[in-house]
Structure 1
Amino acid sequence: MNDLIQFLFDFAFDQGFGIAQICKDEEYRSLADKTRNLIIINTNWKNRNELPFIIGHEIGHLMDGDTGISNYCGNALTSKERHADLYSLNLIFDYATIQYDSFEEPHDFMQQYGIPNRMFDDTVDLFRNNDDLLF
């Protein structure tokens, strides 16, 4: 997980984004602040395995040019949140591909990389569209 987090931080830095790591209550949501091109990550999040996905999600908000401050809410209630979720999923998939990680089942990939269950259908679609990279 540390290598993936470093990959995501490096990616964010390459895009000109800053990252602040904070340790707050486990319910405190990470966020992206477009006005400062800054991602703020709560390293004490209740599901530590989900941290890489959260980082990718917040990167997605900044890459999409979302305005103001966007909090990680843990579900895709709006199109903005859904798009940030998809961005994170694809970014982590790219990392796995670079690492030559191979998974036969989307669920195994999700478990290995802390992808939330709400992303199952999207992960299945991603596997279908990239089956030549996975086997």
Structure 2
Amino acid sequence: MNYGLDHQFGVTFSYTAEDDDPSESFPEYSTAVINANWKNIDEIPFIIGHELGHLILGHSRKDFDQSPAKRIRMERKANEFSLFLLTEYCDIHDIYFYNWLTFAQSFGIPKDCYYLLEEQA
């Protein structure tokens, strides 16, 4: 969250959402709204990084809605950005992992994003 603030983006937590309501970023307000009731609370750090990724990478709602292929590319880039933030956090705090799976489990990386870590291994 501090990374977002350092780059003029805010993070707001919503406590009224259902546990499967997705978090979202709103470029027009320079903020990410995070569902604090998300069904897997361990994923919230990754989700924050993902939504900040959309903001920092300049993704717009118009581009997101342009085509399914563009949406998939933007989601991948936001996932990659979140992984970048989490690895930077580990580097700054001298946190090391034996393998990518331990890293993923420790930071609640969703299993559908494991392919990004496997590509780097």
TM-score by length of 1: 0.78
**Dislocated runs of 4+, deviation >3 Å:** none
Number of matched pairs: 113
- Gaps of at least 5 residues in structure 1 are 1-8, 71-76, 129-135
Q: CA deviation at 1:96?
A: 1.0
Contact 1:35 1:68 in 2 (8 A): no
Which residue among 92, 101, 106 is the counterpart of 1:107?
Answer: 101
1:22 aligns with 2:10: no
> Residues of 1 paired with 2:116 and 2:22: CA distance?
23
State how 1:1-135 maps to structure 2 within 5 Å: 9-23=1-15, 24-68=17-61, 78-126=72-120, 128=121
Give the secondary-structure state (helix, strand or coil) at the position aligned to 2:52: helix
User: TM-score scaled to structure 2, two decimals?
Assistant: 0.86
Give the root-mean-square deviation of aligned CA atoms.
Answer: 1.6
Show CA shifts across 1:25-73 (max 9, x none). 1011110000111110110000100000000000100011011387xxx
In the TM superposition, what whole-angstrom CA distance separates every residue of 1:6-38 from its partner, at most 9, and x where no partner exists?
Answer: xxx111101101221111110111100001111
Q: Is the 8 A contact 1:56 1:91 kept in 2?
A: yes
For 1:59 and 1:106, the matched residues in 2 are separated by 22
